[in-house]
Structure 1
Amino acid sequence: MTEQDRDLRARLVAAGIELVTEEGVHALGLREIARRAGVSHGAPRRYFPTHRELLAAVARHGFGRLTDSMAGADALAATTGADPRSRIEALARAYLGFAAANPGMFELMFRHDLLEGSGSDLRRSTLPLFLTFVGLVAEVHPQSDDPTAATAALWANLHGLAQLRTWGSLQLATGDDGLEPLLRAALDAHLGPAAR
């Protein structure tokens, strides 16, 4: 691939990132991405044989940013001597913060119906982060037979909170958008009550 090809490929991904950030997943049509990148509507097919491959490249960028955000939160918590439960809380806050700040990207990243068959293994990009969660959950509950399942349940709960907040459903159910009591309840439900 030539320098010009790499540049055009990067411009297409950047246009997709801009679109999903400004307008959401529904705006990620090939023609609109090409228009934003300043190329012909057929150009994306030269660099991304399928629409899903281009969407996966955009989502990969989001996964990189989420991983960086969560890794930074965990590193900060670890350097302050936080216990495993506090580190999980820091990771959870980073996850929910990313979802709130990047609703379009967050939706795309987990829309496997749009990304499946892209030839990209996006799931592998987040596996190390998930395994960090598993290790911390195992430290909080050393007697657990299956810390992976417990971690997946916690993650599903956090993801649900993030998505319901984005859709405005939490405000309808609880009367406000505040996640703090819900985050504490989710952590207590999955990890046991925090030591006070």
Structure 2
Amino acid sequence: MPEPQNPPALRERLIDAGVELVLTGGAAAVGLRETARRAGVSHGAPRRYFPTHEDLLAAIARRGFAELATRFAVATEGVDTPHGRLRALGRTYVGYALTHRGMFELMFRHELLDSERHPSDRTPLRESTLPLFGAIVALLADAGHQEPEVTAAALWANLHGLAQLTAWGSLQLVLGSAGGATEAAGEERDETRHDAGGTGTGAGTGDGIDGRTDRLITAVLDAHLGATP
């Protein structure tokens, strides 16, 4: 089976194949042999670049963090206020979690995030979360929040929990049809906030978010940032 002669190109090709597998079947679908088959190379090729299965998964997860960072940049483009940018980040984060379940779950798998267990000459996966956290802290500081690190941690935890509980169906179970009658009104308010620039604009800002989920995101953001006038 022919293989590229350029090692970096082959490594990226294998990661590309792994990303496709994660997006279609979750992390459980990613095996070294199946990744090699999908990439069109010999079954032994992945071992040259990824000594273990977890090394391959970590490389795929880094792609997820990179894509999320790109979506944040697009969502916050043209949004002038720190709070507006934070609202755009929150919506984008939850939207990505709901529309890229396999990748999102892989990005936060504890055994991959454990830098001490899996030392590497590359940036440890856990450190890939630091730019996101740093951006939230900086925006909170610019907005004049006290203890921006604490507020950033609480906001991140709330948004992550909201994304997970929604994906698991837990919030739908406890809320039932609550808010269903006001779904249209909620969506109308969403459009008003978009027109006002309150939640940001750009691709990926609200992907996968229905009216009820958007109101929950707004509740989380308002609890930490204060309600938008």
TM-score bracket for the superposition, by shorter chain length? 0.7 to 0.9
Query: Does the residue aligned with 2:227 lie in a helix, a strand or coil?
Result: coil
Q: Does 1:186 align with 2:220?
A: yes
Partner of 1:39: 41
Check the 8 A contact 1:100/1:162 in 2, yes or no.
Answer: yes
Quote the Cα distance in structure 2 between the aligned partners of 1:133 and 1:161: 17
Opposite residue 130 of structure 2, the aligned amino acid is L
Partner of 2:152: 151
Quote the Cα distance in structure 1 between the aligned partners of 2:22 and 2:92: 20
Query: Does the residue aligned with 2:41 lie in a helix, a strand or coil?
Result: coil
Partner of 1:137: 140
> TM-score, normalised on structure 2?
0.74
Quote the Cα distance in structure 2 between the aligned partners of 1:98 and 1:110: 13
Quote the Cα distance in structure 2 between the aligned partners of 1:187 and 1:8: 42
Quote the Cα distance in structure 2 between the aligned partners of 1:68 and 1:123: 18
Higher helix proportion: 1
Query: Per chain length, whose mean CA-contact separation is higher, i.e. which structure has more relative contact order (CA < 8 Å, sep 6+)?
Result: 2
After TM superposition, which residue ranges in structure 1, 4 or more long, deviate above 4 angstroms?
A: none
Deviation at 1:118, TM superposition (A): 5.4
Partner of 2:8: 6
Match of 2:112 among 114, 117, 120: 114
Q: Deviations over 1:155-189 (max 9, x none)?
A: 01101111112222221122266212211111121
Partner of 2:76: 74
Q: Deviations over 1:15-70 (max 9, x none)?
A: 11000000011212222222222233322111112222211111111111000101
What do you get for the CA RMSD once the two structures are aligned?
Answer: 2.0
Check the 8 A contact 2:112/2:125 in 1, yes or no.
Answer: no
What are the equivalent positions in structure 2 for 1:79-98 lying under 5 Å apart?
83-98=81-96
Check the 8 A contact 2:113/2:124 in 1, yes or no.
Answer: no
Quote the Cα distance in structure 1 between the aligned partners of 2:168 and 2:12: 31
Deviation at 1:91, TM superposition (A): 0.9
Change in CA separation of 1:21 and 1:53 when aligned onto 2, cut-off 3 Å: same
Partner of 1:123: 126
Check the 8 A contact 1:52/1:118 in 2, yes or no.
Answer: no
Q: Which structure 2 residue ranges, 5 or more long, are not aligned?
A: 178-209
Quote the Cα distance in structure 1 between the aligned partners of 2:67 and 2:126: 14
